[in-house]
Amino acid sequence: MENTGGASRGSQLLPVLGQLVRFLRQIESPDNPSPVSLAVLRRLDGDGPGRVTDLARLERASQPGMTQLVGRMEKAGLVRRAPDPADGRGVLVEITQEGRDVIARTHARYVATLDELFETLDPADRDAIVGALPALERLAAAASF
Amino acid sequence: MENTGGASRGSQLLPVLGQLVRFLRQIESPDNPSPVSLAVLRRLDGDGPGRVTDLARLERASQPGMTQLVGRMEKAGLVRRAPDPADGRGVLVEITQEGRDVIARTHARYVATLDELFETLDPADRDAIVGALPALERLAAAASF
DNA sequence: TATTGTTATACTCTATAACTATA
DNA sequence: TATAGTTATAGAGTATAACAATA
């Protein structure tokens, strides 16, 4: 099937993404880490301790902004700081168990919300989405950087 | 196919959503309306002028917060205020042409970014996603409120 | 009295500029 | 000199509480 005259794939997928994200964003909880905070936690959890400058670059934040975010996260017990043994100027930021717990709780809330949404669909629609998941995962992977 | 032992649909879809949203969020532009600001603009564009209280309720914001957001948007030329002829206490917020232009430019940037992403996929993956779009749209519709 | 909207105030988040310490 | 990080300062965004105007 060609795309002649029809809406582009992006223009069809965009409202779907927007609606689902708005739906997830409205989940309320005492935890509720900010999007960037959650992204930093996930990165530290997956890649191990990291330096402020690297976290700032990877999350597209300024260096002072990352210093401040890490400071708030440290105050909240989600990360700890340690001097970088390899560089006296550097600081290594490491996730704590509480930080991992926050990731897990947040993830669980989002998953439960999406799962409830799936239950409202016809089996045929569920199958269609499940069948497209590998392709969607590759689409998301192409968006990695 | 049952879901015995496998990851739930939500847990599979969540990282896809997260990755795509992070990818879109990093688009830089002088425009760059905040998510809530964009949502308000879209609502005013679609439903016509609305009152502050209604916008606040629909966007899950406080009434003073919406007053302030509308104030910033008015200052930026994206909306205008007018007294509600039907209620002397009320204010009708209306989108301006510049507001519509901001919606269009933002939408175009997001769509172009997603379209570029699609072009990196195999045709089979594109077909799988296109085939699942109606189901995904119904999933998103189920998330409406 | 209840509702609509605003103002006052405070807190979170993030940015740029200036600074300190180390390489 | 260049780099890593922090501190100082300011602005956007949002909340609750108190207020003014209208229903």
Coil, helix or strand at residue B82: strand
Helix B9-25 with A97-119: angle, nearest 10 deg: 110
Is residue A10 within 8 Å of B113, Cβ to Cβ? Answer: yes
Q: Say which amino acid occupies A38.
A: L
pLDDT of residue B3: 47
Residue nearest to nucleotide D7 (CA to C1'): A64
Q: Which amino acid is at A115?
A: D
In tens digits, chain B (145 residues) has pLDDT values of: 444 556 899 999 998 998 888 888 888 787 889 889 999 999 999 999 999 999 999 999 999 999 999 999 999 999 999 999 999 999 999 999 999 999 999 999 999 999 999 999 999 999 999 999 999 999 999 987 6
Whole-number pLDDT of residue A5: 53
Sorted by where each starts, the structural domains of chain A and their CATH numbers stand as 30-143 (1.10.10.10)
Mean pLDDT of chain A: 91
Mean pLDDT of chain B: 91
Contact between B129 and A23 using a beta-carbon 8 Å cutoff: no
User: Residue A100: what pLDDT?
Assistant: 97
Count CB atoms within 10 A of the CB of residue A29.
10
Check whether A4 has a pLDDT greater than 80: no
Contact A14, B135 (CB under 8 A): no
pLDDT for residue A145 is more than 80: no
At position B114, the amino acid (one-letter code) is: L
Is 80 exceeded by the pLDDT of residue A2? Answer: no
* DSSP track, chain A: ---TTSPPHHHHHHHHHHHHHHHHHT---S----HHHHHHHHHHHHH--EEHHHHHHHTT--HHHHHHHHHHHHHTTSEEEEE-TT-TT-EEEEE-HHHHHHHHHHHHHHHHHHHHHHHTS-HHHHHHHHHHHHHHHHHHHHT--
Question: Does the distance separating the beta carbons of B1 and A17 come in below 8 Å?
Answer: no
* pLDDT tens string A29-61: 878 899 899 999 999 999 999 999 999 999 999
Amino acid making up residue A124: A
Q: Which of B4, B114, B121 is the mutation pick for testing A, counting most A CBs within 10 A? A: B114
Q: What's the rounded Cα separation, in Å, for the pair B9 and B144?
A: 19
With the CA atoms of A122, A127, A130 and A136 taken in that order, what torsion angle do they form, in degrees rounded to the nearest 10?
Answer: -90
Q: Is A22 on the interface with B (CB under 8 A)?
A: yes
Predicted local confidence at residue B5, as pLDDT: 53
Instruction: Compute the nearest-CA separation of A129 from chain B (Å).
Output: 5
pLDDT at A89 over 90: yes
pLDDT value of position B19: 86
How do strand B91-95 and strand B79-83 relate by DSSP bridges?
A: antiparallel
pLDDT of amino acid B111: 93
Q: What pLDDT does residue A24 have?
A: 87
Question: Could you give the angle at which helices A9-25 and B97-119 cross, rounded to 10 degrees?
Answer: 110
* Closest CB to B132 among A117, A120, A132: A132
Burial class (CB in 10 A: 0-12, 13-18, 19+), A10: buried
Element (H, E) at A119: helix A97-119
- The two structure tokens encoding residue A2: 């060609």
Nearest chain B residue to A129 by CA distance is B132
Type of residue at B56 = A
Kindly tell me if the per-residue pLDDT of A119 is higher than 90: yes
Strand partners, A95: A79
pLDDT of residue A3: 47
Q: B39 — contact with chain A (CB < 8 Å)?
A: yes
Q: How far apart, in Å, are the Cα atoms of A10 and each of A6, A18, A19, B18? A: 11, 12, 14, 16
Beta strands in chain A (DSSP E): 50-51, 79-83, 91-95
pLDDT at position A19: 86
B104 in A contact zone (CB under 8 Å): no
Q: Could you tell me if residue A80 is left (phi over 0), alpha (psi between -120 and 50 degrees) or otherwise beta?
A: beta
